A = this chain, B = another copy of it.
């Protein structure tokens, strides 16, 4: 059988190559790994869900069509900054003693240090307790409720704590009409609630944002008949070195320009105007609130497309990463959060780092952040790596993305559209987990930012989502289903 000259294609364990290669066979290694967690069941289910363009009755093709619908809602979104809510309780009157937090659901017992610190700070801020010890006791005894920002149409950076008195920016997706909310950046101080600090200056600064910044910016945004369209700002900022997650320098400048011109036009008190402009000026990340809310309003409109395997939320609570999938309702699919790899401020190391935290990965979910990192070569000075890495992330992420966004182009890659819309199937099939640009928090409360880096969402989120896609009752041919539904509703009318 082996008397002729052998030509061998090798797949898998490299040491097995030695036999045929030693025997003089022509050898070609195929760069292949089993999908996802390498289980046979996963591979089989993945094959079941694979699209087939030639066979529209194939279930996978139904997913492809659903994903096209979902991603087109993302690409077609028109987020605009339309309002400021002076207090979260005006947005959600039933909030009571609930604190919203970043990432998938989590209770006090499992919360990481920075999130616990932020919870204590928020309780003190609301006056529900008069000391950190009392605040902690309240939280431990379950006298404060917790819920994810994401389940309230909101997103919060880092610990992402939103308490009833905090002001929020409101972004409307004009295409679908839905609203999304995010807290203001705590620009100005190194100590911030979102990193778990709760000292008096932190609370005083939050109060100043509530009482001065929010009303001023509310007047500005309400004074502009159509609000501020965010899509053109994001598109322009991508041509000016931002990724709109870890770098918002250009977008913050464009925002300040608009605010400054509107403030001057409004004739508002100039001392207040000067103070608000100074705060925005001090923070090159000020735009992140609007970037996140824009992405949330975009992705919420793409949620709920039956059969779609597109990720509509990717969020971290500092312990777990959770994703939500367009065709899988309100469920979270979670996995353990990893520690970002990157650069540390002097005096800190990976041992000090909290695992990945914050709702800001909504930017990657919407095709910005690390997906658009080719736009932001200068950011590698912040997160580590080289400009070539920045190009590589944007290129790799196309493998797991459903489309390219023609509205968000990447100059350094010859103006190709940024990859957009994470397909759960492709993450597993390509063994390529979504890349996320992120700030790194100290694992203890209140120690603030200690660095920045790159992290990937855990595989477990995607394997469990894939099983859920397989397990749910699905239409082999959604087009026929819609026709059936149409005839049913016709019968009712």
Which residues of A approach B to under 8 Å, CB–CB?
236, 239-241, 249-250, 253-254, 256-257, 260-261, 263-265, 267, 270-271, 273-274, 277-278, 281, 377-378, 380-381, 386-388, 411-415
Contacts and interface: CB of A to CB of B under 8 A. Distances in A.
Contact of A256 (B260, B270, B274, B412): B260
Contact of A257 (B240, B256, B377): B256
Contacts of A414: 386-388
Nearest to A386: B414
Interface of A is mostly: helix
**Copies of this chain present:** 2
Contacts of A381: 415
B261 A264 contact: no
Given A240-B240, A240-B241, A387-B411, A270 B264 contact: yes
B253 A264 contact: no
A250 B261 contact: no
Contact of A250 (B240, B277, B278): B240
B270 A412 contact: no
A265 B381 CA distance: 33
Given A267-B270, A386-B414, A261 B277 contact: yes
A388 to B, nearest CB: 8
Nearest to A380: B411
A278 B264 CA distance: 10
Contact of A253 (B239, B254, B263, B277): B254
A237 to B, nearest CB: 9
A427 to B, nearest CB: 29
Closest 7 CB pairs of A and B: A260-B260, A264-B274, A377-B411, A253-B253, A239-B378, A378-B411, A240-B241
Contacts of A411: 241, 377-378, 380, 387
Nearest to A276: B264
Given A257-B257, A261-B278, A267-B271, 9 more contacts: A240-B241, A253-B256, A260-B277, A261-B274, A263-B264, A264-B273, A265-B270, A267-B270, A377-B412
